[in-house]
Structure 1
Amino acid sequence: MMQRIKPEVDIVSDLLKAVLEVKPDSSFIQSLLHQYQERGGLSKKQLEGLYHKAAKVAAIPENKLTTLEAIIKKKPTRYKSALPPPAPLYTKDESAGRMLEAILAKYPQHKRVLFLKAKYDNNETLSAVELSELQKFNRMLH
């Protein structure tokens, strides 16, 4: 909540009550007044809404509208940022894929490597034991 120079002067409350006197059936202004009393303040968008409603009421002095405009300008404008692009649930280990290809190029019938290749192709993660096994097979090739 912001510090007011003269706490006894409450422009927002005065404007809310003045607009309610002219338009007692306005549910928007009633809602704003309730939120203002509950929370002790309004958001920038809510204050802008109040300003537009109050500007239509001739009985409200210009200086109060100007003060409300100043309060609105002091408030920060919040922007919603775009959602980040969805990350893939699984990223393939390219080095494991290259090792599998190299081993199968030389030994296309190798049962264990064929099993690991099927697992790799199904986007299943290879365990540390399976990866070390693959590296051992790869070392035997060279």
Structure 2
Amino acid sequence: MIRKNPSVDVINDILRLTMEAYPASNFIKSLLFQYQERGGLSKKQLQDLHAKAAKVAGMPPGKLATLEAVILKKPTRYKSPMPFAAPVVIKDEKSGLYINEILVKYPQHKMVLFLKSKYDNGDVLSPAEKGEIERLHKLLIK
């Protein structure tokens, strides 16, 4: 974090004043440790620190206002919504039955072999392909 005046550290001052007011607070201790180790806090942590520091008697209002400004300056991160699952493709059993009946009688029929491979791979058969299967079934089987 680049500061205009490195000798002035408002967040550290607020952390120390809040630590003096709440010496047994593990939350403030962890925030102070993280601030010293990593050099910064997240927006949510700063908001929680502000809520806790606002309750401290004797906290300078200028420091709280500066903390509010730092919070407003930080970007708000949003989680993207979970992606929707792909719709489950339901195989047309009638087309599968027709394909198998045709291949039993004519095992080398290239068009039906192509449609069978498409059907077995889970690809959706178009209405024209379904019509073609029914037409071939009607011509070759019935």
1:24 aligns with 2:39: no
Amino acid at match of 1:38: E
Partner Cα separation in structure 1 for residue 118 and residue 80 of structure 2: 39
Runs of 4+ in 1 over 6 A off after TM superposition: 90-94, 100-105
Q: What stretches of structure 2 of length at least 5 have no aligned partner?
A: 123-132, 137-142
Alpha-carbon distance in 1 for matches of 2:104, 2:86: 35
> Counterpart of 1:110?
105
Aligned length: 119
Report what 1:85 is aligned to: 84
Residues 111 and 25 from structure 1, CA distance in 2 versus in 1: closer, same or farther, beyond 3 angstroms? farther
Q: TM-score, normalised by structure 2?
A: 0.67
Q: Give the Å deviation of 1:101.
A: 8.0
Identity across matched positions, percent:
53
Q: Aligned with 2:77: secondary structure? A: coil
Change (3 A) 1:117 1:110: farther
Alignment of 1:64-79 (within 5 A): 64-79=63-78
Distance across 2 between alignment mates of 1:64 and 1:6: 15
In structure 1, distance between residues paired with 2:38 and 2:24: 22
Tell me by how many angstroms 1:87 deviates: 2.9
Q: What is the TM-score of this pair, normalised by structure 1? A: 0.67
Q: 2:121 aligns with which of 115, 119, 125?
A: 125
Q: Any idea what SS the aligned residue of 2:17 has?
A: helix
Superposition deviation, residue 109 in structure 1? 4.1
For 1:24-43, what aligned pairs fall within 5 Å after superposition? 24-43=23-42
Asked whether the 8 Å contact 2:99–2:116 carries over to 1, the reply is: no
1:111 and 1:34 map into 2 onto residues whose CA distance is 77
Distance between the aligned counterparts of 1:103 and 1:117, measured in 2? Answer: 6
Determine the C-alpha separation between the residues in 1 that align with 2:64 and 2:52.
11
Kindly state the Cα deviation for residue 59 of structure 1 after the two structures are TM-superposed: 1.3
Question: Cα deviation per residue 1:7-47 (whole Å; 9 max; x = unaligned)?
Answer: 11000110000000111001110010011111100000000
Q: Is the 8 A contact 2:34 2:41 kept in 1?
A: yes
Could you say what the CA RMSD is over the residues aligned between the two structures, in angstroms?
3.7
CA 1:18/1:92 → structure 2, altered by over 3 Å: closer, same or farther?
A: same
Aligned partner letter, 1:125: N
